[in-house]
């Protein structure tokens, strides 16, 4: 479906692992192409429940979370993750369609560490992902 | 449908491109929760072409449009049937039974009164391999088994298969993963390569004829701690699946678990449950609801 | 032995013949057993216990006359599990009136409630179709976006055509992006010129270019 992501960003350090959680197929593929080009390993989930499941199943360095999703929205997912000892520490960035300050506050209250608004510029996404994961160099 | 009387068969549909395969997998996953890896393309494609030929579709695009917009969902159901292998044997997906005795049961009995029984339900139980595997796992692999009263209930909609489950006679293929010492301890050899499970074990399981879709029948079960409901929900349409999942939720005690088949996920069905990881498997827990 | 055979209250063993009546309810309310009236069920929608409310919501699935009361309840219901059941019942009862009420929830600030409504509406293609035109023309771009989300998952043969109309006239980039996303699955070759035209409207948006390329590839299947 997609190319095998680079396993190693450098010989010294394995690639940082990012889980992209968004119900839009073009959106997921876009984040994947941008982040893989920057050396991240990317996995995808299509809604909040699946994102929660995948975050539990494997360790990630960063979650990129859409807000409006079926089954479980981004806020609800983040609140659930922040209560779960197994995964509560993983950094998360929410990406919303609304440039509403109240929405940004809700995202941070739900447990997001950073907040972006769609459509996200590729450079900004890469920069934020680097900032939140401390890599790849 | 292809008319068998026609002397010239239409040409077989062309193979799928990678983009078509990806598009199909995403749609099928969204509708059923069944996920195919890239290395399954040959398997999936063969079955798709089979369905395309049966429905007289000349290309993937026509076929996909038909499946995608068919209100009855009939063709999607045919696809599910051809894409899934419904076989059962002892200790199938064993990691889930390991998760039961190492993770779920120890957690469920924490702080519980010894007088309160543990209640497990296998639905659909088919020919009985699953409930007997649950029983064997508990007896052989859970060191606290003797401290608790454990009820195992097993239900199926099919009375013939249920009678087989109660008879408890299994062939070599079904028993291939059963350790020799279990065979000696819990089975009686019938001489022809098949074995019958011992009476004690057979009689300790409560078999019942239940259609889980019928809320009145399903509602007779209550306060169940763990439900094994593997490879059943994929056969329902969206609303039927919602309702059945809600029925399972109602039947469970708060904090109780649902175990699904390995290619299934609650994430396509509902947000009612919280995923929990035990060992290598994800199971689904009914939360303790705070707000009334 | 650790294993004990016990029939929980009311579960007949196989071969018992007729089902035994339920014993005293140990958790579930006696509502359904006694065949309660619609009035009883409607009253139970406001009960203290969430179990009772779920049970009533489920039982009302055979009572179309309860539709508006169920819509009223879903708007104020706080318990996520009760909400889920209310939405399932509304899907069962689907009608243009129910769809119109649920469409109103697209304006809710409560994301979970809004998404529950979107999912329910996706399950009622014939009922929601009459509301969709107005939603797609709503002054609020968020409402238009949610309408496109509904359209994208809808089992309705006009959906691809309406999505093409959206990308031809919709001014908001995120609403267009959602329509392109939906077209990647349901679009037909007729949608390709409209997608190419959209590219020219957002030339500086890398995401839009990427999404259009993806959708065109998916539609053409190569």
* pLDDT tens digits, B168-183: 999 999 999 999 999 9
Tokens for B230, please give them.
């593997």
Chain A residues near residue B275 by CB distance under 8 angstroms: 49, 52-53, 56
Instruction: Provide the pLDDT for residue C24.
Output: 37
**B60, B65, B246: residue with CB nearest C58:** B246
A41-45, strands of its sheet edge to edge: A41-45, A17-21, A62-66, A92-96, A114-117
Q: Does C155 touch chain B (CB under 8 A)?
A: yes
- Domain range list for chain B: 18-83, 94-285
Do B65 and C156 form a contact (C-beta atoms < 8 A)?
no
Q: How many CA atoms lie within 13 A of C124 on its CB side?
A: 27
| Residues A85, B43: Cα–Cα separation, whole Å | 39
More confident residue, B33 or B76: B76
Q: How many CA within 13 A on the CB side of residue B60?
A: 25
* pLDDT tens-place string over residues B112-153: 998 899 999 999 999 999 999 999 999 999 999 999 999 999
Q: What is the pLDDT of residue B153?
A: 97
End-to-end CA distance of chain B: 54
Is B231 a known ligand-binding residue? yes
When the candidates are 3.30.1360.120, 1.10.155.10, 3.90.180.10, 3.30.365.10, the CATH number that belongs to B18-83 is: 1.10.155.10
Instruction: Measure the CA–CA gap between B120 and B149, rounded to whole angstroms.
Output: 11
pLDDT, one tens digit per residue, over C171-215 is: 999 999 999 999 999 999 999 999 999 999 999 999 999 999 999
Measured distance CA(C202)–CA(C184) in Å, rounded: 18
Q: What's the mean pLDDT in C1-8?
A: 71
Residues of A in contact with C180 (CB under 8 A): 26
DSSP string, B249-289: HHHEEEEEEEE--TT--GGGT-SSSEEEEETTEEEEE----
pLDDT at B7 over 80: no
Specify the pLDDT at position C172.
Answer: 96
Closest by Cα among C31, C117, C54 to B250: C54
Compute the distance between CA of residue C56 and CA of residue C33 in angstroms, rounded to an integer.
12
pLDDT in tens, C45-90: 999 999 999 999 999 999 999 999 999 999 999 999 999 999 999 9
Are A30 and C185 within 8 A, CB to CB? no
| DSSP code, position B100 | I
Is the separation of the CB atoms in A122 and A75 below 8 Å? no
Task: Select the residue from B59, B143, B151, B154 to test the C interface by mutation, using most C Cβ atoms within 10 A.
Answer: B151
**CA-based torsion, B10, B12, B17, B19: positive or negative:** positive
Residue A72 in contact with partner chain B when CB distance is under 8 A: yes
SS3 content of chain A, % helix, strand, coil (to 5): 40, 20, 40
The string of pLDDT tens digits covering residues B61-75 is 999 999 999 988 889
Nearest by CB to residue B274, choosing from A1, A57, A80, is: A80
B39 is in an annotated binding site: no
CB A80 within 8 A of CB A54: no
User: Which residue, B56, B270, C59, C170, is CA-closest to A48?
Assistant: B270
Per-residue pLDDT tens for C84-118? 999 999 999 999 999 999 999 999 989 899 999 99
Residues of B in contact with A49 (CB under 8 A): 265-267, 270-271, 275
CB contact, 8 Å: A71 with chain B? Answer: yes
CATH dotted code for B94-285: 3.40.50.150
pLDDT band for position B10 (cuts 50, 70, 90): low
pLDDT value at B24 more than 90: yes
Contacts of B146 in chain C (CB under 8 A): 2
Determine contact, residues C6/B207, Cβ cutoff 8 Å. no
Residue C152 has pLDDT above 60, yes or no: yes
Per the annotation, does B86 bind a ligand?
A: yes
**Alpha-carbon distance C97 to C88, whole Å?**
16
Chain B CB contacts of C22 under 8 Å are 220
C-alpha distances in Å from residue B42, one per residue of A3, A6, B47, C147 = 18, 25, 9, 37
Is the CB of residue A122 less than 8 Å away from at least one CB of chain C? yes
Residue A6 to residue C153: CA distance in whole angstroms: 33
Q: Testing the interface with B: which of C3, C16, C62 to mutate, by most B Cβ within 10 A?
A: C3
pLDDT band of residue A134 (cuts 50, 70, 90) is: confident
CATH architecture of A17-131: 3-Layer(aba) Sandwich (3.40)
Q: Within a 10 A sphere around the Cβ of B38, how many other Cβ atoms?
A: 12
Do the chains contact at A26 and C180, CB–CB below 8 Å?
A: yes
**Given a contact as 3+ CB pairs under 8 Å, which chains touch C?**
A, B
Strand, coil or helix: what is B120? strand
Q: Report residue A97's pLDDT band, with 50, 70 and 90 as the boundaries.
A: confident
Lay out the sheet containing B118-122: strands in order across: B205-209, B150-156, B118-122, B224-228, B252-259, B281-285, B274-278
Is the confidence at residue A6, as pLDDT, over 90? no
CA A16/CA A129 separation, integer angstroms: 9
pLDDT for residue A11: 53
Q: What are phi and psi of B133, to 5 degrees?
A: -65, -40
**Model pLDDT, residue C20:** 38
- Residues A70, C180: C-beta atoms closer than 8 Å: no
Q: Which of C145, C184, C205 sits opposite A26 (nearest CB)?
A: C184
Identify the weakest region by mean pLDDT among B21-30, B223-232, B282-291, C138-147.
B282-291
Report the pLDDT value the prediction gives residue B217, as an integer from 0 to 100: 87
Cross-chain residue pair A53–B271, CB shorter than 8 Å = no
B230 appears as a binding residue in the annotation: yes
When scoring A4, A25, A27, A49 by the number of chain B Cβ atoms within 10 A, the one with the most, hence best to mutate, is A49
Residue A14 tokens read as 């394995």
When the pLDDT of each residue in chain C is averaged and rounded to a whole number, the result is 88
The whole-number pLDDT of residue C25 equals 36
């Amino acid at each position: 479906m997609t190319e095998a992501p680079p396993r190693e960003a450098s010989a010294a350090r394995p690639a940082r692992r990012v889980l992209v959680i968004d119900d839009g197929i073009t959106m997921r593929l876009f984040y994947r192409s941008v982040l893989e080009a920057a050396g991240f390993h990317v996995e995808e989930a299509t809604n909040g429940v699946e994102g929660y499941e995948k975050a539990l199943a494997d360790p990630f360095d960063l979650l990129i979370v859409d807000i409006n999703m079926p089954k479980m929205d981004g806020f609800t997912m983040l609140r659930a993750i922040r209560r779960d000892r197994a995964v509560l520490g993983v950094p998360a960035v929410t990406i919303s369609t609304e440039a509403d300050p109240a929405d940004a506050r809700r995202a941070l209250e739900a447990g997001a560490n950073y907040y972006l608004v769609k459509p996200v510029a590729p450079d900004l996404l890469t920069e934020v992902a680097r900032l939140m994961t401390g890599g790849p160099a | 449908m292809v008319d068998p009387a026609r002397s010239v068969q239409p040409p077989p549909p062309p193979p799928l491109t990678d983009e078509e395969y990806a598009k199909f997998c995403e749609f099928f996953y969204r509708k059923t929760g069944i996920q195919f890896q890239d290395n399954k393309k040959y398997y999936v494609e063969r079955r798709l072409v089979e369905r395309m030929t049966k429905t007289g579709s000349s290309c993937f695009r026509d076929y996909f449009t038909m499946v995608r917009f068919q209100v009855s969902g009939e063709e999607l159901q045919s696809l599910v049937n051809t894409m899934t292998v419904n076989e059962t044997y002892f200790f199938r997906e064993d990691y889930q039974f390991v998760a039961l005795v190492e993770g779920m049961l120890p957690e469920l009995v924490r702080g519980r009164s010894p007088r309160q029984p543990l209640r497990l339900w296998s639905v659909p139980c088919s020919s009985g391999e699953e409930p007997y595997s649950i029983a064997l796992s508990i007896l052989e692999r859970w060191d606290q088994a003797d401290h608790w009263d454990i009820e195992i209930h097993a239900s199926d909609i099919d009375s013939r298969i249920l009678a087989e489950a109660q008879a408890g006679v299994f062939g070599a293929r079904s028993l291939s993963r059963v350790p020799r010492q279990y065979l000696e301890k819990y089975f009686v050899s019938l001489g022809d390569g098949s074995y019958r499970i011992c009476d004690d074990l057979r009689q300790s399981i409560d078999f019942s004829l239940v259609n889980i879709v019928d809320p009145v029948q399903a509602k007779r079960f209550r306060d169940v701690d763990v439900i094994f409901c593997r490879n059943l929900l994929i056969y329902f349409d969206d609303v039927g699946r919602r309702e059945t999942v809600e029925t399972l939720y109602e039947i469970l005690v708060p904090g109780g678990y649902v175990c699904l088949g390995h290619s299934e996920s609650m994430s396509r069905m509902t947000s009612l449950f919280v995923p929990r990881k035990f060992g290598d498997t994800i199971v689904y827990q009914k939360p303790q609801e705070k707000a009334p | 032995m650790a294993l004990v055979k016990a029939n929980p209250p009311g579960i007949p063993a196989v071969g018992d013949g007729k089902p035994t009546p339920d014993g005293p309810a140990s958790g579930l309310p006696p509502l359904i057993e006694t065949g309660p009236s619609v009035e009883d069920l409607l009253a139970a929608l406001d009960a203290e216990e969430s179990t009772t409310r779920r049970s009533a919501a489920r039982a009302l699935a055979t009572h179309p006359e309860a539709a508006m009361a169920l819509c009223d309840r879903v708007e104020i219901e706080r318990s996520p599990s009760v909400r889920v059941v209310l939405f399932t019942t509304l899907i069962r009862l689907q009608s243009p009136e129910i769809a119109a009420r649920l469409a109103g929830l697209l304006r809710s600030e409560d994301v979970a409630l809004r998404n529950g409504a979107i999912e329910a509406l996706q399950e009622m293609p014939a009922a929601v179709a009459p509301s969709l035109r107005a939603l797609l023309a709503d002054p609020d771009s968020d409402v238009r976006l949610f309408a496109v989300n509904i359209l994208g998952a809808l089992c309705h043969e006009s959906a691809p055509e309406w999505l093409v109309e959206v990308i031809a006239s919709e001014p908001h980039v995120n609403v267009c992006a959602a329509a392109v996303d939906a077209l990647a699955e349901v679009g037909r070759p007729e949608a390709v010129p409209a997608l190419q035209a959209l590219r020219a409207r957002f030339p500086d948006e890398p995401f839009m270019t990427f999404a259009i390329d993806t959708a065109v590839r998916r539609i053409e299947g190569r």
